[in-house]
Amino acid sequence: MKTKNLFFSAILISIFFISCSNDDKYEYYDLATPVTISFDELRKSVDILPPRVIEQSGKIYSYNKYIFVNDKNKGIHIINNTNPENPVKISFLQILGNIDISVKNNFLYADSFIDLLVFDISDINNIKLVNRLNDVFPYYYSIPQNTVVDWQALNTQNNVVVDWVIKRERREINTNILYNDIAFAEAVVTSGQGGSMARFKIVNSYLYAVDSHSIHIFDIGNLDNPTQLESVSAGFDIETIFNQNQYLFLGSMSGMFIYDITEPSSPQFVSEFSHGTACDPVVVDDNYAYITLRSGNSCGAFDSSLQIVDISDIKNPILENSYSMVGPYGLGVKDEKLFICDGDAGLKVYDKTDVNEIVLLNHFKDINTFDVIPLENHLLMIGEGVLYQYSYENNDIKLLSTFNLY
């Protein structure tokens, strides 16, 4: 009997080691399979739909009494903000591949992957597509982070990627498989106001749009019929654009590039401020540029911070001071106040009168924050699926409303 038990124990141990040995040959992958549509389908997909829940909140834009919230690569949620304490959803403008918008004199400009679309929004309840400029932008598509792409299913020759299906799979270990750890593969007011994360910027009769390495320029003197001008090469890993006076300030993963638009159709390089690799929006007041640097997988930096750069000599920007942050995204300035969306660490409001000793006035914790727009009388802020609005009262910032976009 004892011999039989030993025999069965030996068999069980052998099975265990064989199983462990086999398991050593396998691991689990998140396989990302692209969902694609043709370019013809893309260009027929624009639609005005009833209000709906947001899937992934992106950038915000304010124009007159309306707020436009980007749903990443899906379109734009339109909100009536006549009463900031009680905003109301109006509709959803479906634009596949949309990330950015700008508005001037009731004409809304929006990207749709490689195309620029023009909408007449003079009647917000009857928005009309009035023009489309085809093939004016390079084609980029988002890749889900930390996944393995099913490249055999990816055909971008005649199609665009509109979504991804991610499935957990157990496969034999392949040391040649590489995970994706990057986010991209390669303005009653006459014009509106976007946040610091914007890639579109209207200055007078021109629309400037940046991609990772270029400034795309459109003459919008004829608002419903833009003319594409020659693009300007502007560096690498460009992420954001901001305008102050006759200058464009471009935030990139390697630094800030400054361009002079005295001749608006032909931006001229002025200077560059370099920093370590990091995700990097920038806003500017008269004498300083404020840059948030965020660490993380796709951003590269090990530390997150706010950097304040002296631009009094526009040709020679110099770092004035640096302050540690948790995980900052967008930021904004108004008068003596500096607003920083520090990711999951919340909204931080500083007095920036002395840039060498900025003072924390308010800290709204336990909220996710992405970008802000300081308006004349109040502040707009977008977080993960939530729109926040705050009033300015001297040095005190008070919450007006919380609007759930889900």
23: phi then psi, degrees, rounded to nearest 5: -60, -30
Contacts for 141 with CB less than 8 Å, ≥ 6 apart: 34, 156, 160, 161, 184, 185
Which range, of 65-69, 182-186, 314-318, 321-325, averages the lowest pLDDT?
Answer: 182-186
Contact between 219 and 265 under an 8 Å Cβ cutoff? The reply is yes
What are the domain boundaries of the chain? 27-194
Contact between 398 and 347 under an 8 Å Cβ cutoff? The reply is no
| Cα angle, residue 238 at apex, residues 177 and 251 outer, rounded to 5° | 125
Instruction: Please state the separation of Cα 252 from the chain's center in Å.
Output: 13
Contact between 378 and 396 under an 8 Å Cβ cutoff? The reply is no
- Classified as helix, coil or strand, 46 is coil
pLDDT tens profile 95-122 = 999 999 999 999 999 999 999 999 999 9
pTM tops 0.75, yes or no: yes
Residue where the block lists tokens 């006549």: 82
Contacts for 123 with CB less than 8 Å, ≥ 6 apart: none
pLDDT tens profile 121-149 = 999 999 999 999 999 998 877 778 778 88
Give the per-residue pLDDT at 187.
31
What is the rounded end-to-end Cα distance, in angstroms, of the chain?
66
pLDDT tens profile 163-190 = 888 888 876 665 444 444 333 333 344 5
Positive/negative CA dihedral, 228, 196, 182, 75: negative
Q: How far apart are CA 285 and CA 312, in angstroms?
A: 10
pLDDT tens profile 263-273 = 999 999 999 99
